[in-house]
Amino acid sequence: MLGKMTSRVIYLLLILSIVIISHDLCSRTGDRQMRDTAFRQYDIRGIVGDELIIEEIYDLVRAIAYYFVQKNPACKTIAVGMDGRVDSAAIKQEMCRALSDSGMNVMFIGVCPSPVLYFALHTLPVDGGLMITASHNPKEYNGIKICCGTESVWGKEIQHIARLYKEKKHTIVKDNPSIHCSASNTHSRAEALAKAGGERGKGNIVDYPLIPAYVDWLADHFQQLKNMDLAAVIDCGNGVAGTVMPQLIKKMGWQQVKLLYEDVDGTFPNHEADPVKEVNMRAVKQQLDTTDAYIGIGFDGDADRMGAMTKTGTLIPGDKLLGIFAHSIVQKNPGTPIVFNVICSSALVELLEKWGAQPIITAVGHSIIEEEMRKQGALLGGETSCHFFFKDRYFGYDDGIYAACRLFEILLTSDKNLQELLQMFPPKVTSPEYRIPCPEEKKQLIVDKVKQLFTAQPDITTITIDGVRATMNYGWGILRASNTQPVLSLRFESDSLKGLQQVKHDFLVALQDYFDVDALRKQLEI
């Protein structure tokens, strides 16, 4: 009797163990979907293993392929690039498999910056692109930037892809020929064709490293920078700028340019790859203090942004850099539109109007800037976050490495030095960006209430394209909901410190019903 009971207990424990193991396997594979929070305003991005599930990349990319065909039934070839994060290779493997199973050819351009992926869209015979990156986010993150044709996919289109993914929408491109050779294209397809050889019914997967062609293009278009004597220090931040800069420096003969942290390391052991934060430019500042370097440059994780620091260790705000770029362009193109977001300094508006340019203000977001530039026929756009978009002599996308070359060019050819260029701006007292934690479901409600409050006051001028920017006779402030995090973003500016504090106080009063006033006062440094 005891033996039978023991056998039954062992049997039940065995069944229970199988159930637990099966549940665990399911939770790590098919039953776990991407979280809704991974489908963001401008890309698909999240913490790997929590929001972004690698085992689900295959189905996600099958849905993206379905989307590509919806937008362009002739879509057949996709460029794929990736950054150096620890999970990027695994994501790339699943991505390429999904595209191939969808019948699409894949041109894998290698570990590279996002701008090299964008460069591929303009120089290779491809119909779209996918970039595996989480930009400047911490090492736990990864993601996918999506381009259809040469344009970024964002906003409602990202949410549409989320629905396709949840519905398990797949597509198969039938009768897709091998990657073709284009006589009008600047790059030979011979190497690609030699490596192509997909199975019947599947697309070809071709390795086609593009960084050498990108470096050659930059060298050809910045001839005046060859062998330049400008001393500079450049921090790659262990991001993928390190795949380009050593080659570019060698090609250009920049003997006085020193690189920091050029080894690609997805754990970012030295600092976050975000050059708009002064803490991440400490190594650059130290080099400026102790060497002959005249200017410091920092790149973010995927090198689509560039920060700059003066010899004296001052981090140049993105809107001032945009003004410096605009000055060189407006001189040759009077009346041209310059596109920038609503949180940029009023000093930029004053300067552009003085120079005869057309200031075009948009909501925050690099994809929004790109779209407005196309509408306006603008030659330049930018953001305080140091995304710079050059249509003047370039393709119109954000490229930190290209922007750095343009800055070097200005410093070498202008009759003004960097300090004199910065002195062009009317003096303003500007706050940093304050990011106030706020539940996701309450963000827009609070912004709408504050917007109603300010727009009802006749002595206040408001801009409401993205939150509310309220201008008083002593300064302005802006409140907006972040597109990427559960926070409210605020920034203030005035001609004087007293005016700045008054603007801050006006916003404090407007927000007092929604936050602890003492805590908010401390956060806003009132």
| 141: β partners | 47
Distance of alpha carbon 494 from alpha carbon 430, whole angstroms: 7
Q: 124: which 2 tokens?
A: 């290779």
Residue 32 amino acid letter = R
Q: Is 387 a catalytic residue?
A: yes
Catalytic: which of 40, 45, 136, 491? 45
Distance of alpha carbon 96 from alpha carbon 104, whole angstroms: 9
| 81: β partners | 110, 131
Q: Is 45 a catalytic residue?
A: yes
- CB neighbourhood size of 437 (10 A): 10
Residue 95 near residue 136 (C-beta atoms within 8 A): no
Catalytic: which of 114, 135, 431, 494? 135
Chain-centroid distance of CA 490 in Å reads 21
Distance of alpha carbon 278 from alpha carbon 308, whole angstroms: 10
Q: Strand pairing of 105-111 and 205-207?
A: parallel
With H, G, I as helix, E, B as strand and everything else as coil, classify residue 181.
coil
Catalytic: which of 189, 327, 387, 469? 387
Contacts of 204 by beta carbon, 8 Å cutoff, 6+ apart: 100, 105, 106, 178, 179, 196, 197, 198
Distance of alpha carbon 467 from alpha carbon 225, whole angstroms: 42
Residue 239 near residue 272 (C-beta atoms within 8 A): no
Helix, strand, coil share (%) of the chain residues, nearest 5: 40, 20, 40
Distance of alpha carbon 321 from alpha carbon 384, whole angstroms: 9
Q: Is 188 a catalytic residue?
A: no
Instruction: List active site positions.
Output: 45, 135, 387
